[in-house]
Amino acid sequence: MERIVIINFGAQYNQLIARRIREAGVYSELLPPDAPIERVKGEGLSGIILSGGPDSCYLPGSRTCSDELFSLGVPVLGICYGMQLMCQKFGAKVGPAPVREYGKTFVRFKPNVLFKDMPDSICWMSHNDAVSEVPAGFELIAETDDCPVGAVCCGEKGLYAVQFHPEVRHTEYCAQFFHNFVYEICRCKGGWSIENLAGELIEEIRKKVGSSKVVAGLSGGVDSSVAATLVHRAIGDQLTCIFVDHGLLRLGEAEEVMDYYRNEIGLNVIEVDAKERFLSKLAGVVEPERKRKIIGEEFIRVFEDEAKKVGADYLLQGTIYPDVIESGTGGAQVIKSHHNVGGLPEDIAFKGLIEPLRILFKDEVRLLGESLGMPAPLVWRQPFPGPGLAIRVMGDITEEKLDILRKSDFILRDEIKKAGLERAIWQYFTVFTGVRSVGVMGDCRTYDTAIAVRAVTSTDAMTVEFAEIPYDILRRISNRIIAETPGVNRVVFDITDKPPGTIEWE
């Protein structure tokens, strides 16, 4: 199988590079800078990409890579930090940029196979440092008004480097750029797809598990559901699924998802009522990272208890790549510790974890679910975080706050469904803000809770934009929440993109 390796230097957008390569029809994977050279070579190596990252390559302690990467006989592409590191290794000077570039920037391209069918256009820039001279043996192939060395190449050695970020959708010809690198430079033939991936993952699961038993943690979300369906296809009755009602689910959630699991997919599911167990551990906890870690550990402990009953050696999780990258793995900055990654305790009583979706984005998970023939309502169900409503209640968690949040969230979902916007909006939910404000209802003064409505559009959960819901629908949502949810007298609409915000509030 053809394979493009991305050396991960710790930038938040690095997985987008892998995604663009896969969209072009070639398999890709991220490896750390210190990965053994034999691991990089592997089978089917067709090209290498050096990713962006937060370091300055000229400072002590900055991340680097083996010089051997440049002599493996495959093309190498450097992006942003990857460009700076490559150029420094070949003798060029790198330092603080005279003018730092951020955001949409007009780039002028010189004729080169890397930019085939790409006119001068807008690209996404985000850099503090810059290459100040073209390395010996390289040629200049792009520039901007403030970045005279915008891209370089040494065609003879198959080395290419760009200062801009082609993986970000704001780069106008991002798809064409990666098509050029994959097919014109790496000479790949393509053909990789999510449908093909399903068969490969099933075989990998069978090899790893053998005759052992597996327990799966089901949250009711699409990630854990697809993961469980995939593993069930691989090992059948060796899989036992555990649905934990931790007291932090949405209105009617447990009944709805259990019906899907048992009657639509045919999974063997054990439902565990752990409301008191979780809520007692969370009592009085305010800090969001602490909430996530408590929930992560308690999930594991519940799974361990149930695994002992069935004699399971492995734990299946629906971890996807945004969970991994936001939790700060591979040298990236910790944004928030997802309960199934950064929230995991060190002492896990399992032989190992099975995470078949770990390299996929949310929309790729949905496509995989469709290829497995899963019911559409389950595949396209609203994303719901493992910690549940705990990270949608600002401050400490109480039954009263959860009740208000459940009612307001149900109203929002009901109105979005009535408006026919379920598939148009990526994710939508309400937040108990913890803020109280003065109002007037029935000619009387109120001093009650403000509920926030969060609705976003996205393709990969790494970058999102707030959904532009029509005002008449927002008005109905607001009126119903205030009228039907005691203790609420104000509704606000969150219009923050990601970045700078995240999808969830905590």
Query: Per-residue pLDDT tens for 489-506?
Result: 999 999 999 888 989 999
Distance, in Å, from the CA atom of 380 to the CA atom of 368, rounded to the nearest integer, reads 12
Choose, from 165, 232, 246, 339, the residue flagged as catalytic. Answer: 165
- Note down the domain range covering 477: 399-493
- How many CA atoms, within 13 angstroms, populate the side-chain half-sphere of residue 324? 23
CATH number at residue 354: 3.40.50.620
Residues 229 and 375 in one domain: yes
| Cβ neighbours of residue 308 closer than 8 Å, sequence gap 6 or more | none
Distance in angstroms between the alpha carbons of the first and the last residue of the chain: 40
Choose, from 2, 57, 65, 80, the residue flagged as catalytic. Answer: 80
Distance, in Å, from the CA atom of 223 to the CA atom of 19, rounded to the nearest integer, reads 17
Catalytic (active site) residue 133 = no
Query: Per-residue pLDDT tens for 209-255?
Result: 999 999 988 877 889 899 999 999 999 999 999 998 999 999 988 88
Catalytic (active site) residue 179 = no
Domain stop point among 163, 185, 207 = 185
Catalytic (active site) residue 188 = no
Contact 79, 36 (CB under 8 A): no
Residues 35 and 96 in one domain: yes
The residue type of 310 is V
Residues 198 and 123 in one domain: no
Residues 132 and 237 in one domain: no
Residues 149 and 288 in one domain: no
Choose, from 2, 87, 153, 167, the residue flagged as catalytic. Answer: 167
The mean-pLDDT minimum among 85-94, 222-231, 376-385 falls in 376-385
Query: Per-residue pLDDT tens for 134-189?
Result: 999 999 999 999 999 999 999 999 999 999 999 998 899 999 999 999 999 999 99
